[in-house]
Amino acid sequence: MEKNWSAKQMPRQGGKLAIVTGANRGLGYYTSLELARAGAEVIMAARDGKTAADARAQILAEVPAAKLKVEHLDLASLGSVREFANRVAGAHNRLDLLVNNAAVMSLPTRQVTVDNYERQFATNHLGHFALTGLLLPLLCSAPAPRVVTVASGLAAFGRLDFDNLQSEKRYVPQGAYEVSKLANLLFMLELNRRAPPGLLSVGAHPGVASTDLPQSGLVWLHKVASQHPSTGALSQLYAAAGDDVAGGDYFGPRGLLEMYGPPKKTKVTKRALDESNARELWKRSEALTGVSFALEAKPDPAPALGSPSHRIVVAS
């Protein structure tokens, strides 16, 4: 990776189909823009249809040949996640790239979703867990699929407590966000361990980017020490399209304290390396979402040359 890598150096993405969640603003908008500029067909998934349509129009004004489609997706609703996945599966026979980008941050008071789950954990982790599982057959039909899960440097402060996983006993706005972002990393690494050959599960974090994400806590930091979201998106763009990316890789800004600058390969927090916690979180997530994806190494008795050796099972 070049030290000052930028989106201009992205490999061409022509012929690829990508989904970006939270594509209507901030990091998701610039991720969609640059993937489309590189030639990918991008499904812009967002909860707010109007802002997503506006974002699509802005991209088309800059990249008239962009292939873009807006689709409604509310990650806080498992019903919406299933409906979205069904629409995508009905229209496409493969998916090359899934960017799990959308998030909510530091909600001042504890809120619950339509499924009665804490909103930050539900949106940031459970929704993306379910979405990935439901889209896994399409991903495994692509020649070189990737799943990019966007975490945060604040994941390093997250403490996973399975007796208070959704802040049922005590809610701290930023603490709940940190737990959800640690869950993103545990999921990313566990998916990499379970993935069939060819599927890359990778992660990224944007540093501190000037988005409207924080609603309490570190709002001041985003105002005084942040970078433009077009720069913040570079880490996830490299994870999505870099030609030297391996499963389990994690990317973040190379500037001071990984708060700003072009991307570099970095390390996940030690808490994300706890495989026992990752397995337990996976089991809990399957139970909470009703989405179970088993990745089993079961080669055919006489597999053809180049045929996949894994059977993909998605139960929902």
Residue where the block lists tokens 């139960």: 315
Quick check: 165 and 183 in contact, CB under 8 A?
no
b/e string for 161-173 if b means 16 or more Cβ within 10 A?
A: eeeebbbeeebeb
Query: Structure tokens of 11?
Result: 């490999």
Which of 61-65, 180-184, 185-189, 306-310 comes out lowest in average pLDDT?
A: 306-310
Full-model pTM: 0.90
- Enumerate the domain spans of the chain: 7-289
Quick check: 268 and 185 in contact, CB under 8 A?
yes
Query: Structure tokens of 185?
Result: 């990393």
Alpha carbons within 13 A on the beta-carbon side of 176: 31
So which residues are the catalytic ones?
177
7-289 CATH: 3.40.50.720
Q: 286, exposed or middle or buried, with CB in 10 Å at 0-12, 13-18, 19+?
A: middle
Return the CA Rg of the chain.
18
Backbone phi, psi, residue 202, to 5°: -135, 165
31-61: pLDDT as tens digits: 999 999 999 999 999 999 999 999 999 999 9
Q: What is the signed CA dihedral for 301, 303, 308, 309, rounded to 10 degrees?
A: 30
238-291: pLDDT as tens digits: 999 999 999 999 999 999 999 999 999 999 999 999 999 999 999 999 999 999
Distance, in Å, from the CA atom of 7 to the CA atom of 31, rounded to the nearest integer, reads 9
